[in-house]
Structure 1
């Protein structure tokens, strides 16, 4: 899922990457491709204590980020990490990186066009913990209206959408927040959401 923050509407639009506006770019590093080399400054982010899968994921995420930045002509050097492991984007750029199951993906956009973006890939099954802690009461209402198989897919999409929302907002607010602080409603193309106080 991808998230684009609209400050004027005080809302986040969440949708699969195929629904992106023209000012944003999405890129993927596929596990069937060789693990990409990283910028020497980014190599310092990869430590010997990391398991190989984590090192590969970091390299794939950074490679996807650079590909997305090149797509909007804003690739200008290494993407380092901040104190909370968040990517530090070039001036004038907002972005998010995700990785799972050997894939790395990134979504970027100019800050002149949007205040934040988020992206998330998930490879997991519905667990009781997700059902117990993820949906807010108003989200449970529309989830309860779905058939069991649809509900399992929807709760996973909801989880991914909320992860995308957090990635879109974190650079602006600088604090972590829980699932209960984002309220999402389904739309024909994905979700629309709001952060709650």
Structure 2
């Protein structure tokens, strides 16, 4: 258990120091984290609605922070290139994220074109869930399945390429990131208001 927690701490530290220099990115992660926590609670009420909220708000704000605001190129704080960080990233690097987001966009289009997914499902009725029904319900369930599959697939990949514990640690990190991000980035909007666009990462400089 001690080894597991040390690995979890190491993965969280690497994620923060390598991929969260932008205060805008940190602020968007804060918004994403709060909405993710709400989505976790909504899972017990309406899983489809929870997935719509998580993917539609949390994932879009989270990934927008990485794609549009996080600086690329040589990392002066960690003295490594962007290519090096992308190669060693435990979770989803940019290339994997593009594939994941393409699937996210493609699923609603596929359900619009083939509501039964070629006979694999029965389209939901208007009252399929307490909050959302019909096509939206099917999209929500599809996005929920995509999220679960994305985590399980990466755990399997890590188990095969490194070891099972690394995969399980990463999955634990992903599932608990919303709570951790709130603690880590709750002051990011204040730094932005003060005109600080990039975190100097002074706490990492020794």
TM-score band, normalised by shorter chain:
under 0.3
TM-score using structure 1 length? 0.27
TM-score normalised to structure 2 length:
0.26
Task: Name the structure, 1 or 2, with higher relative contact order (CA <8 Å, separation 6+).
Answer: 2
Greater strand content: 1
